[in-house]
Each structure stands twice: as structure tokens, then as C-alpha cells.
Amino acid sequence: MEFINYEQEGFVGIITINRPKALNALNSEVLKELEATIDGINLETTRAIVLTGAGSKSFVAGADIAEMSTLTKAEGEAFGERGNRVFRKIETLPIPVIAAVNGFALGGGCEIAMSCDIRLCADTALFGQPEVGLGITPGFGGTQRLARLVPVGKAKEMIYGAINIKADEAYRIGLVNAVYPLEELLPAAKKLAAKIAKNAPIAVRACKEAINKGLDEKMDDAIVVEEKLFGSCFQTEDQVEGMKAFLEKRKVDGFKNR
């Protein structure tokens, strides 16, 4: 692949968007490779993903403005559909995805970070949805996910005003979980991913599904989503061993994903 690097470190997969010429902006080719990478993740051997951008300046500087500049209405809609499909695959990937935001996260860059389960960022990161300054709306889910992740008035201020925010503000409003010096960001993201990967994989996946599906439901229905997933964990080898180990006052010797 030209624009996406994939590495495996133990149970953790690391996806790096690598298009330095355009600050890792997402054109059709990058989206295609990203989708193929996500589709190709081995869910038997991978328990968490870290998603980052190559270089020290940019995570993703948005969708590719040069490519978008001549699109018709129908082509614009199709481009949005394509990005949304890929980002929804990230959001609904059975295993957790951590965004390590190493710089600019603008437009499609902010949107891809918001499709991840957890965002960590460098103190140099910049977040925003500057699309209205280009004559368009956010197109890869920004109006929907930002308004769900931060107070809706803040999302509206950022989107209507094309106001970018720095790392400390992103932390203050809960858009990111933590801020690190750039050189500590990737190690921190990998460490968190490895911590997640140490837990019972079937249970972690069930938690992701329960949280994501439950958030779309009313509470009476949402707790049923959890009940079913809670039940599904019983009689797995990992549940039997996890509880046995606790009762025998010893540590589990590696969950098996069974």
C-alpha cells in the first residue's frame, strides 16, 4: 500500500496514515487503502488498534480539497458516502480503536478521530471543522459526532465559526482523554491499547457493542442490549477462567479470546 502502513505489535495493530505531501489529507486512494486495511484486520489475533498520522506535524489535515474542488452535487454526496462508510467501519469495528492525534486534526481529520473509541493527542494538536470556510458542511460525520461528543453549543460554535481548538481546549471539553508531549503520544496510545488487550477480548468487544448500540436506544431498551451481551460472556473459557482465578486468588495466565 502507498498511503497506509500497518504494523502488528503483539495483540495491537497500528494503522498509520502516510501521505506527507498533503499533511495526510484523505483522497479517494487513501480512503480505499484505509478501508482495505480495516477489512483486513485479523480479529482473532488483534485486540485493539491505534490509529495515527505519519510525521510530527499532522494527524490528518482533512479530506483532500484539490480532489473535492471540482465535484458535482452527486459526486460530492458520493464522496461523503464513501468517507462515512469507512469511518463507520472504524466506529463499529468489534475491537477498540484509539486515535493518537499527532498534530492537525481538521475536517476529515477531526472526523476520523471522532470515529475512534478514544482520542489521545499531542500538545501540538489542533482540532476543528473548518468546512464552512470552504463553502461546504463537514462531510464525514462531523456535524453528527462532534455534537454528540462535546456540548452541542460548543459543537455549533466550532462548526458555524470554523473555529479550531488547541489540545488544552480539546481536553477541557472532553474531546480528548489526555494530552502528551508529541514524543510520548504514540507510546502512551500503545500502552493503553496493550492494557485493553490484556483483558478478556470477548468481554471488551461486548462492552464496545453495548456502549455504542445502547447510546442509540432509550434506557429501557439500552439495558436490554447490555443484558444480552452480559449473558453472552458466560460459559466462555475466559469468563470461567477469569472468575476461577479471582476465587483462587491468582492472576489469569493470559486470556484466550475463547
Position 66 contacts ligand CAA (CB under 6 A): yes
Owner of C-alpha cell 502516510: 18
Position 22 contacts ligand CAA (CB under 6 A): yes
Tell me how far apart the alpha carbons of residues 17 and 6 are, in angstroms, rounded to a whole number.
9
> Active site residue: 33, 35, 91, 111, which one?
111
What mask of x and - would describe binding to ligand CAA in positions 128 to 147, judged by CB under 6 A? --xx--x---xxx-x-----
Give catalytic status of residue 131 as yes or no: yes
Region 78-137 residues binding ligand CAA, contact defined as CB under 6 A: 83, 104, 106-108, 111, 130-131, 134
Please report, as a single letter, which amino acid is at residue 30. Answer: V
* 193-211 exposure pattern, b = at least 16 Cβ within 10 A, e = fewer: bbebbbbbbbbbbbbbbbe
Number of chain residues interacting with ligand CAA (CB under 6 A): 22
Minimum CB distance to ligand CAA, residue 39 (Å): 21
- Provide the pairing of β-strand 165-166 with 126-128: antiparallel
Q: Which of 55, 49, 51, 50 is nearest to 24 (CA)?
A: 55
- Which DSSP helix (H) or strand (E) runs through 202? helix 201-215
Minimum CB distance to ligand CAA, residue 229 (Å): 32
Q: Which residues lie near ligand CAA (CB under 6 A)?
A: 22-23, 25, 61-66, 83, 104, 106-108, 111, 130-131, 134, 138-140, 142
